[in-house]
């Protein structure tokens, strides 16, 4: 690990990654890698997560190529110095913010979207002019192996490295000096990453999780809400950091919402989702066992079926939820959807605010004042109104958490800026050099200073 870090440090110090053409070429090569090896990547995703090919293409291939296209198109503009105002006291002068790469970046990815969540931040670091070490998750081992074989084949090995392995390899990497660490995963490991970064005062970005709530208002269109919730919840069998974690719904609407969710599940996955080609599997036996135990926190109103030998858990809607159960204490990260009845939007807001800030929040309402109230009185990493997940698909909206759900944001321009220092530069002219700026400080100068400062 020290050798890898030293090699990349030497490359960066040589100025190798500074030219925009080098950055453009690397981004183009990353896109080419995905396009030319799409079938292998989709097979790996199916092996790791039972991920349907269409879903894998949308979330792990097309999502990344879309980000790459935006970075390639805007590379020059996003790396151009920005002119800013200059106060009178400094004249004659002009001021700029100059984007400057940080150096050598470490990106540690999770297993749930193992291509997207590795390559999108790595692409931002490359577009910013950095060297990068990529660390894919060992849990999604087939995808990790594919990336481990293909990244050195397509990317510049002097500036872009990939390290496979588990906890020992990650621990060794965290012992090296980096200029930025980007970690996506859970809060427990996030704290380990942050503690390791302290040794070198390395800035970190933590993309964590949390219990992302859904608020259903009396004015909501329940059929549309159910379909959009069902899509966002059971995509990747619920193993999505911004998946709806629980629903807060008016008591009078609970039965109708459950019925609409049952209908949506049937439309999406058929009468038996186990037979559906559009529904995935749980990543490992350990995660399967955890999710199966969480089901005890409520009563299945829809689903509830499991098959341990296939790591299959049906799309499940839970009612009569125990608020003190583990189901409501930890991020579910699976296909279980608790429904909690409330008496008002105010009660929903109080319920959310009594807990750590979520990574995402969703509100379904036709009443604009309700939407405005929720947006004003809650805090979350990001929000989609009358939908789920979609805010993270817009490259013009930074994606990230707040508090327990993370720190820092990326995607699009924000994903490039994250790995840069905006260096303030003030340039003064020399043709004018007024003596008023220098001692001795006379009464006349003091009067002028008070007028202009």
Q: Name the residues annotated as catalytic.
A: 207, 241
> Which residues, including other chains, have CB under 8 Å from residue 340's CB and lie 6 or more apart?
246, 247, 248, 249, 321, 323, 351
By the 10 Å C-beta count (0-12 exposed, 13-18 middle, 19+ buried), 351 is classed as middle
Residue-level length of the chain: 453
Closest CA to 338 of 230, 247, 264: 247
The CA–CA distances, whole Å, from 249 to 220, 243, 304, 340, 368 equal 10, 17, 21, 6, 17
C-alpha–C-alpha distance, residues 285 and 311, integer Å: 6
To the nearest 10°, report the CA torsion of 159, 162, 168, 173. 20
Q: Answer for the pair 47, 56: CB distance below 8 angstroms, yes or no.
A: no
Segment holding 342, helix H or strand E:
strand 336-342
Closest CA to 217 of 354, 371, 357, 388: 371
The number of angstroms, rounded, from the C-alpha of 61 to the middle of its chain's C-alpha atoms is 16
> Which residues, including other chains, have CB under 8 Å from residue 52's CB and lie 6 or more apart?
46, 277, 278, 279, 280
What phi, psi does 206 have (nearest 5°)?
Answer: -115, 115
Q: Is the dihedral of CA 292, 294, 297, 300 positive or negative?
A: negative
Report the first-to-last Cα separation within the chain, whole angstroms.
Answer: 53
Q: Is the peptide bond before 260 cis (omega within 30 degrees of 0)?
A: no
Closest CA to 232 of 50, 37, 59: 59
């Amino acid at each position: 690990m020290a050798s890898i870090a030293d090699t990349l440090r030497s490359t960066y110090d040589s100025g190798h990654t500074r030219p925009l053409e080098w950055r453009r070429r690397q981004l183009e090569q990353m896109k080419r890698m995905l396009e030319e090896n799409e079938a292998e990547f989709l097979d790996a995703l199916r092996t790791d997560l039972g991920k349907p090919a269409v879903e894998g293409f949308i979330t792990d291939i097309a999502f990344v190529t879309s980000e790459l296209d935006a970075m390639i198109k805007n590379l020059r503009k996003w790396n151009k110095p920005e002119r800013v105002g200059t106060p009178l006291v400094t004249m004659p002068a002009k001021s700029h913010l100059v984007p400057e790469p940080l150096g050598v970046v470490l990106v540690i990815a999770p297993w749930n979207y193992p291509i997207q969540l590795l390559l999108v931040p790595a692409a931002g670091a490359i577009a910013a002019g950095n060297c990068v070490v990529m660390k894919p998750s060992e849990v999604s081992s087939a995808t990790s192996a594919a990336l481990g074989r293909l990244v050195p084949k397509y990317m510049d090995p002097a500036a872009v490295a990939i390290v496979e392995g588990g906890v020992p390899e990650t621990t060794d990497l965290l012992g090296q000096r980096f200029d930025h660490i980007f970690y996506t995963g859970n809060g427990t490991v996030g704290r380990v990453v942050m503690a390791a970064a302290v040794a070198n005062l390395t800035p970190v970005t933590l993309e964590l999780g949390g219990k992302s709530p859904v608020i259903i208002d009396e004015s909501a269109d329940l059929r549309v809400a159910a379909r959009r919730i069902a899509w966002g919840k059971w995509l990747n069998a619920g193993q999505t950091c911004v998946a709806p974690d629980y629903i807060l719904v008016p008591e009078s609407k609970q039965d109708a919402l459950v019925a609409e969710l049952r209908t949506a599940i049937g439309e999406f996955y058929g009468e038996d989702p186990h037979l559906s080609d559009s529904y995935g599997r749980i990543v490992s036996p350990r995660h399967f066992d955890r999710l199966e135990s969480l089901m005890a926190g409520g009563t299945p109103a829809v689903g509830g079926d499991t098959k341990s030998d296939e790591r299959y858990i049906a799309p499940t809607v839970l009612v009569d939820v125990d608020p003190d159960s583990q189901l409501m204490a930890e991020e579910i990260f699976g296909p279980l959807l608790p429904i909690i009845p409330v008496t008002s939007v105010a009660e929903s807001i109080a319920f959310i605010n009594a807990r750590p800030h979520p990574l995402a929040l969703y509100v379904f309402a036709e009443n604009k004042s309700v939407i405005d109230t929720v947006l004003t009185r809650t805090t979350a990493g990001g929000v989609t109104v009358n939908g789920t997940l979609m805010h993270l698909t817009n490259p013009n909206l930074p994606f990230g958490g707040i508090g327990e759900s993370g720190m820092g944001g990326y995607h699009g321009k924000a994903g490039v800026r994250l790995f840069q220092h905006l260096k303030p530069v003030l340039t003064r002219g020399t043709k004018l050099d007024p003596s008023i700026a220098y001692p001795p400080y006379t009464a006349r100068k003091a009067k002028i200073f008070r007028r202009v400062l």
